[in-house]
Amino acid sequence: MERIGAPCRTLTAREFGWQCDTPLQRSVARLTVYAPEQESEALAAHGEPAQHSGEIMLGRRNVAWTGNCVAIGHAAEILEPLTQAPMLMLQRGIERLLTLIPCSVDMSVERREFNRQSGEDYTHAEIFNRALFEIPLPANTPYWRAAREEPAHEKLAQKIAQFESRGLLVAFDLEPFHNEDWTILHHGVGRRPARFDRMADRIPEAETRAMVDRVPHDIAEFVKTMPAHHDYMQNLIRYLKQKKL
């Protein structure tokens, strides 16, 4: 088997929008997101001719479950594929439906709860994606202007303000993204806390420094116990083939 690429995807802001590279088994999949006004520039930067292209309209249905029909994934909502949000929404939609399999004739209770949770998920997923845009605009171009037309959600404003103040990760009920996701996103776009949390003053400085100094060593020791990415993926693929999945 050819060696598998890096275990992460890269997302890069460009004047026309975004470019995302995802390593696969034998290639790297490139996604280019842009506004129609800059199509020629975006396609030139894409490199090889795009295998697929199309326009998308972002948003969601007012209700995902109506009557006896349930919309899941892209049938219910469309988010820009900049983060794992679209796949996460699909997964959560399936899991939600399994937990709310109708137990009444009119399904009104199940339908109402499904739609409530779906709406909350979409709001939080949209907030997560929008956090990528709360940065100094890379360029005054149609894509970036349109991306910032609507004001940021109040929840996102709270998250950014608290993180930039003292590194606090604000969390709301039923969020689909974990603190680790938000930490990676904040640092990825260059956000840094202006000060440390004053709770740290309750620990003696020498003890704090000793703990911090141990972190690189602890990480290095933990990494030694983990298989290389390529080896892990080889074993995973072998397992899936054995199970005929």
Give a yes or no: residue 223 inside a domain.
Answer: yes
User: Which residue range forms the structural domain that includes residue 216?
Assistant: 205-242
pLDDT confidence of residue 88: 95
Whether 121 and 135 share a structural domain: yes
Whether 25 and 132 share a structural domain: no
Assess contact for 138 and 121: CB atoms under 8 A.
Answer: no
pLDDT digits (tens, 9 = 90+) for 136-145: 888 889 999 9
Whether 64 and 174 share a structural domain: yes
Q: How many domains does the chain have?
A: 3
- Residues 6 or more apart whose Cβ sits within 8 Å of residue 47: 30
Give a yes or no: residue 29 inside a domain.
Answer: yes
DSSP label at 56? Answer: -
- Residues 6 or more apart whose Cβ sits within 8 Å of residue 191: 160, 163, 164
- Distance of alpha carbon 126 from alpha carbon 192, whole angstroms: 22
**Bridge-partner residues for 34, per DSSP?**
17
Whether 159 and 92 share a structural domain: yes
pLDDT digits (tens, 9 = 90+) for 184-236: 999 999 999 999 888 888 989 899 899 999 999 999 999 999 998 888 888 99
Q: With pLDDT > 70 as the criterion, what percentage of the chain qualifies? A: 99
pLDDT confidence of residue 234: 87
Tokens 């709860």, residue? 113
pLDDT confidence of residue 156: 96
Whether 74 and 171 share a structural domain: yes
Other beta carbons within 10 angstroms of residue 72's beta carbon come to 19
DSSP label at 228? Answer: P
Whether 149 and 65 share a structural domain: yes
pLDDT confidence of residue 2: 64
Whether 50 and 74 share a structural domain: no
CA angle, 213 then 215 then 220, to 5°: 120
Beta strands in 25-173 (DSSP E): 28-34, 59-60, 65-66, 69-70, 77-78
Q: Taking residues 123-144, what's their average pLDDT?
A: 92
pLDDT confidence of residue 60: 94
Give a yes or no: residue 176 inside a domain.
Answer: yes
Farthest CA pair distance, the chain = 65
Whether 77 and 176 share a structural domain: yes
- Per-residue confidence band for 163, with pLDDT thresholds at 50, 70 and 90: very high
Pairing of strands 59-60, 10-14: unpaired
Which is higher by pLDDT, 184 or 105? 184
Give a yes or no: residue 194 inside a domain.
Answer: no
Whole-number mean pLDDT of the chain? 91
- Distance of alpha carbon 184 from alpha carbon 170, whole angstroms: 14
Whether 99 and 118 share a structural domain: yes
pTM of the entire predicted model: 0.84
CA angle, 157 then 161 then 167, to 5°: 135
Three-class SS state of 51: coil
